Amino acid sequence: EAGVAQSPRYKIIEKRQSVAFWCNPISGHATLYWYQQILGQGPKLLIQFQNNGVVDDSQLPKDRFSAERLKGVDSTLKIQPAKLEDSAVYLCASRSAPRQGRWNTEAFFGQGTRLTVV
Amino acid sequence: AQTVTQSQPEMSVQEAETVTLSCTYDTSESNYYLFWYKQPPSRQMILVIRQEAYKQQNATENRFSVNFQKAAKSFSLKISDSQLGDTAMYFCAFMKQDDKIIFGKGTRLHILP
């Protein structure tokens, strides 16, 4: 089973520029998460999708961040314009839907995109 | 709101020793899951062990075991016979049914040769 794929692995941009990250979850996984992990901290949820619908985006800075999940498969996260404090690792994770009433708990993570804003 | 607290920012132990990482959490939910994730320098978050809140028996996965104290809202990870490959960041995490995963700030663990 292929894992969660993310690209690019690294990105360096100047402040006020825009950037986009891409995530391809495990095939068939209905739930997709984007997390922001600032150096030395735990991951913080930015947005959670269930298929192509947004479940939780309460911590997404909507004035500059946007995310979409077309057709309930791949997802992109965009920052426009970037600020210095956006420097972080952006992690994507996916989890399958419950089967036969059983709650599936294991989320699979990609290797993340390290963003540096200078 | 749920919170997860890891009070040990960094720990070091000798290879082959046993080490315990602490975690406390706060929730009003009765049914939830707790996890320990490992994040090596490659940044890939790897699930180490999970515990279902309604199960009293502590989860065990080979050298990894947990001490789950539901009333105290405590969830510690014990690593036995530690190996150099265990060196990583360890995150305690909480999830209620079909919801987001909330992480603690992490504990950086160094296994010394």
* Contact between B91 and A43 using a beta-carbon 8 Å cutoff: yes
**Residue A80: phi, psi to the nearest 5?**
-155, 115
Q: What is the pLDDT of residues B59-101, one digit of tens each?
A: 999 999 999 999 999 999 999 999 999 999 999 999 987 688 9
> For residues B107 and B4, what is the distance between their CA atoms, to the nearest angstrom?
12
Residue with tokens 């997390």: A35
Residue with tokens 């269930």: A50
Residue with tokens 């996890």: B35
To the nearest whole angstrom, how far is the Cα of A57 from the nearest Cα of chain B? 11
Query: Do the strands A10-13 and A31-37 form a parallel or antiparallel pair, or are they unpaired?
Result: unpaired
> For residues A34 and A46, what is the distance between their CA atoms, to the nearest angstrom?
6
Token code pair at residue B73: 């809202």
> For residues A47 and A111, what is the distance between their CA atoms, to the nearest angstrom?
17
Residue A1 pLDDT > 70: no
Cα-Cα-Cα-Cα dihedral sign, residues B102, B49, A114, B107:
positive
Residues in B closer than 8 angstroms to A44, CB to CB, are 103
> For residues A48 and A57, what is the distance between their CA atoms, to the nearest angstrom?
6
A23 touches chain B (CB under 8 A): no
Q: What is the pLDDT of residues B8-28, one digit of tens each?
A: 999 999 999 999 999 999 999
* Contact between A44 and B35 using a beta-carbon 8 Å cutoff: no
Token code pair at residue B3: 């919170």
The count of CB pairs under 8 A between chains A and B is 52
| Helix residue ranges per DSSP H, chain B | none
Residue with tokens 């036969």: A100
Q: What is the pLDDT of residues A79-117, one digit of tens each?
A: 999 999 999 999 999 998 766 555 667 899 999 999 999
Look at residue A101 in the predicted model and tell me its pLDDT.
Answer: 56
Look at residue A92 in the predicted model and tell me its pLDDT.
Answer: 97
CB atoms under 10 Å from CB of A35, counted, come to 24
Q: Please, is A93 exposed, middle or buried when counting C-beta atoms within 10 Å of its C-beta (0-12, 13-18, 19+)? A: buried
Nearest CA in chain A to B40: A111
Query: Do the strands B64-69 and B74-79 form a parallel or antiparallel pair, or are they unpaired?
Result: antiparallel
